[in-house]
């Protein structure tokens, strides 16, 4: 029986987005405040996922051994460091979140049966790397507030209540939605980025947050006059608005996760091949409300 186990670690480090072949003005234009001369720091949180069959002791890997490998190969070297100088790889390709995850994989792979490296720069920005060359995944988090009512226009109030419960009440109700957008792309060999982070945030703000924030979805968004604004359908609507603009940036929309409340969320995988891969490799749902 194959199983995946996860080990958490953390380190604090600083870095700077700066290419010496560019002028100060060019670096500022490309990297914004990340190019400031003294850099900036983060408390990174690292998850290392390992896969394999259980041994006779009921383990994929002895976690004490895993802890020592991570400490020796990663955290003891990166903690309280200036990343641009600490490893040669970061002098060739900038230490972005996605590139740090890639290089950590390279350092740890000879010692552990890796499945995934996930690195959080902060709770609203993280990267996943699965060992596929320069391919990586970058996720950002944002939020919007909106109201909705769950009801089908061709059903009576009583029938809608039987399906949607209190969510069918005629005056609707509201949520503070938390949105996570994950994109997939190739890490640039020099900048370390799969997409410019500032541009990504601006795109999501323009194409999603500005449209949905402080609206009554059923009345203010034409799409939801005919489609019930469940979390699943809102995620589909968001994907429709992001897929083409993201493609123009050179990345693929991989996943939308919409958290309606602490108890309810859904995940939408946005490409057929990606869905099949996610379902087979990670046993994650294509579309899930819990």
Mode of pairing for the β-strands spanning 2-15 and 81-82:
parallel
- 3 as an active site residue: the answer is no
Question: In whole angstroms, what is the distance from residue 269 CA to residue 65 CA?
Answer: 35
- Please state the φ and ψ torsions of residue 270, each to the nearest 5 degrees: -100, 0
Contact 247, 255 (CB under 8 A): no
Catalytic-labelled residue, pool 121, 260, 267, 270: 260
- 161 as an active site residue: the answer is no
Question: In whole angstroms, what is the distance from residue 169 CA to residue 217 CA?
Answer: 15
Catalytic-labelled residue, pool 122, 173, 214, 282: 214
Helices (H), the chain: 24-31, 63-70, 76-78, 83-86, 89-92, 97-108, 157-164, 197-204, 210-212, 217-220, 231-248, 272-282
Catalytic-labelled residue, pool 143, 167, 186, 243: 167
Contact 12, 88 (CB under 8 A): no
- 260 as an active site residue: the answer is yes
> 265, 263, 152: which is closest to 218 by C-alpha?
152
Catalytic residues: 167, 214, 260
């Amino acid at each position: 029986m194959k199983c995946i186990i996860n080990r958490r670690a953390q380190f604090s480090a600083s870095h700077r987005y700066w290419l010496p072949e560019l002028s100060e003005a060019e670096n500022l234009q490309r990297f914004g405040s990340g190019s400031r001369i003294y850099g900036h720091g983060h408390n990174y949180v690292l998850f290392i996922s390992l896969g394999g069959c259980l041994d006779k002791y009921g383990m994929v890997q002895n976690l004490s051994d895993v802890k020592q490998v991570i400490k020796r190969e990663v955290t003891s070297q990166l903690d309280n460091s200036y990343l641009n100088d600490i490893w040669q790889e970061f002098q060739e390709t900038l230490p972005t979140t996605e590139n740090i995850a890639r290089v950590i994989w390279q350092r740890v792979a000879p010692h552990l049966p890796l499945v995934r490296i996930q690195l959080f720069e902060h709770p609203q920005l993280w990267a996943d790397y699965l060992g596929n060359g320069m391919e990586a995944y970058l996720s950002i988090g944002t939020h919007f507030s909106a109201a909705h009512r769950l009801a089908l226009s061709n059903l009576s109030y009583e029938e809608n209540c039987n399906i949607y419960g209190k969510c069918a009440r005629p005056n609707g109700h509201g949520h503070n939605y938390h949105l996570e957008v994950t994109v997939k792309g190739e890490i640039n060999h020099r900048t370390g980025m799969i997409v410019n982070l500032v541009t990504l945030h601006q795109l999501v703000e323009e194409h999603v947050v500005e449209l949905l924030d402080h609206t009554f979805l059923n009345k203010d968004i034409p799409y939801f006059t005919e489609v019930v604004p469940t979390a699943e359908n809102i995620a589909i609507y968001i994907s429709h608005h992001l897929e083409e603009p993201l493609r123009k940036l050179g990345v693929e929309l991989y996943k939308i996760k919409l958290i309606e409340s602490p108890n309810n969320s859904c995940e939408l995988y946005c490409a057929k091949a990606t869905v099949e891969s996610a379902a087979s490799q990670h046993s994650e749902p294509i579309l899930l409300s819990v």
